[in-house]
Amino acid sequence: MSSKKNVDITKTLQDAENSRKQKYYRKNVGFFKLLEKIKLWPARSGVLHGIKSIKITSNTAEITTFCGESFLVWNSRNSRASRWLRNKLSFSACGKCKIPDWKIEKYTATMMTQKWGSGL
Ligand SMILES: [Zn+2]
């Protein structure tokens, strides 16, 4: 039971922000393309899930996570994910998806430099 606990990655996010320089995805990289690349999805609850598969159609993507969730997302530059990171809310990583640390670091570094639809 305890092995399924979510992992607090707030510290990781802060570290990533402190050393922002890494990967820089150009602004016009599509939201789905980015998801396809980082294979991580921040759920509404603030929990990061690993993406097992992503099926992209023109305007939507069907995402299946490692812990068995499946849902449809719309292509949006104003993503909830990027808003959250800009607002520096805390995140945790899904214990069932078993996301490796390097993936989370890659994700945070990416999210920090990518300003989806911010216009700021
Ligand atoms: Zn999960």
Residue 120 within a domain: no
> What's the domain count of the chain?
1
Range of the domain at 94: 2-113
In angstroms, the CA 93 to CA 45 distance is 11
Report how far ligand 1's centroid is from the alpha carbon of 93 (Å). Answer: 8
Residues having C-beta closer than 5 Å to ion ligand 1: 49, 65, 67, 94, 96-97
Residue 18 within a domain: yes
Report how far ligand 1's centroid is from the alpha carbon of 95 (Å). Answer: 7
Q: pLDDT, tens digit, for every residue of 87-114?
A: 545 578 899 999 998 888 877 777 666 5
Q: Cα dist. 21→36, 37, 70, 91, 113 in Å?
A: 21, 18, 33, 21, 8
Q: pLDDT, tens digit, for every residue of 19-29?
A: 654 454 444 34
pLDDT higher for 7 or 49? 49
Report how far ligand 1's centroid is from the alpha carbon of 68 (Å). Answer: 7
Residue 118 within a domain: no
Report how far ligand 1's centroid is from the alpha carbon of 66 (Å). Answer: 6
In angstroms, the CA 98 to CA 93 distance is 8
Residue 119 within a domain: no
Report how far ligand 1's centroid is from the alpha carbon of 71 (Å). Answer: 12
- Give the pLDDT of residue 14: 76
Cβ atoms of residues 116 and 77 within 8 Å: yes
